[in-house]
Structure 1
Amino acid sequence: MRFLLLLFIIMPIAEISLLLQVGDLIGGWNTIGLIVITAFVGAYLVRQEGLSTLQAAQAKMAQNQVPGNEMLEGLLLMIAGVLLVTPGFITDIVGFTFALPFSRKFIAARAAKHLTVHTVGGAQQRTYQHYTGDTRTSGQDADGETIEGEYVDKSANDDSPRLK
C-alpha cells in the first residue's frame, strides 16, 4: 500500500520535471507534439497487439487449452494502453515496454511462474491451482501448462467429502 502511495506522489513529480526539461531542450510545442504522437502510436500498437493476442487466445481455446499467457499479455496490454495515453515520457517508456511483443512475452512468462490461483468450492471443498506458464517438466501435457489442485471424491459411499 505504501508503494502505491509513493508511486502516486513521485510519478507525477518525475513526469512534470522530465516534461519541463525536455520542453527546455526542444521547445514547448515540440514536447506537446511528441506526447500526442506517442499517444497515437501507442494506441495503434496496443490495438494491433491486442488483436493478435486475442487471436492466439482463441486458437488455444479452440484446442481446449487454457490461454494463461495470453490472458497475462492481455492484462499487460491493457496497462500499456492506459500508460501510453497518459501524458509523460516515463509512462510512455513503461507503456511501450508492456506493448512491444518481445518484452511483453518475457514479462508475462516471468509473471506466470509466480502466479497462484486460489478458488473455493463448496463449504468443505478448497482448490489450489498453481499455474506455471510454459515451463516443462516430465508428465506434462504437450502445451506445457501445469495445473495442480485438490478435488473432492463424491463417488465415495459415505457422506463426508474427502480431499484427495
Structure 2
Amino acid sequence: MRFLFLIFAVFTIVEIAVLVKVGEMIGGWNTIALVLLTAFIGSYFVKREGLQTLQVAQEKMQRNELPGNEIVQGLMLVVAGVLMVTPGFVTDILGILLVLPGTRHYMASHVSKHMKARVVTSGGFGQGPFGPQGNPFDQGPSQQGPQHDSNGDVYEGQYTDKTEQDDNHRLR
C-alpha cells in the first residue's frame, strides 16, 4: 500500500513539473490547448482501436475460440483511455504507448504469458474442481454433451445430493 502511494505521489509530482516546464516554454494557454488536443486525439484513437479489437474478439468467439489476448488488449485500451484524458504529458505518452498496435500487442502477449503461467502454477496439473487439469471449459469424459429428454428439451447441469451427505454426517 505504501509502495502504491509512493508511486502515485512521485508520478503526480513529475506530471506537474513537466506541465510547468512546458508552460514556461510555450505559455500557459498553449499548454492547456495542447493537453486538451491530446485528450481528444487520444480518445479518438482509443475508440478506433477498441472497436477493431472488439471486432477481432467477436470473430474469434464465432469460431469458438477464446479471445484471451483481445480481452487483455481491451483492458489496456481502457487504461490508455483513462491515461489519455488525464491532464498531463507523461500520462499521454503512456497512453499513446498502450494505444499503438505494435506496443499494445507486445505488452499484451507478455501479460497473457504471465497470466497463463500464474494460472498453470496455481491450478496445478491434477484433477481440479472443473475437470481435468482444472480447466472450466473441459467437461471431462463423464459429460460428452447435453442430455435430451423425450420432448427434445436440453437439460444441462451438475448437482450434489445433499440428503446423502446429511445422512452420512448423522451416522458418524
Quickly name the TM-score band, shorter chain normalised.
Answer: 0.7 to 0.9
Change (3 A) 1:67 1:154: closer
TM-superposed CA distance for 1:6, in Å, is 1.1
Aligned match of 1:149: 133
Percentage identity across paired residues of the two chains: 50
Distance 1:154 1:62 in 2: 25
Q: How many residues align?
A: 134
Is the aligned partner of 1:24 residue 2:8? no
Give 1:71-110 correspondences, 5 Å limit. 71-110=71-110
In structure 1, stretches of 5+ residues that fail to align are: 129-147, 156-164
Aligned match of 1:34: 34
Deviations 1:12-67 (A, max 9, x none): 11111110000000111110010000000000000000000000000000000000
Partner amino acid, structure 1, of 2:133? G
Aligned match of 1:161: none
TM-superposed CA distance for 1:4, in Å, is 1.4
Instruction: Note the aligned Cα RMSD (angstroms).
Output: 2.7
Distance 2:83 2:42 in 1: 9
TM-superposed CA distance for 1:3, in Å, is 2.8
TM-superposed CA distance for 1:127, in Å, is 5.5
Partner amino acid, structure 1, of 2:79? I
Higher alpha-carbon Rg: 2
Distance 1:35 1:114 in 2: 34
In structure 2, stretches of 5+ residues that fail to align are: 143-172
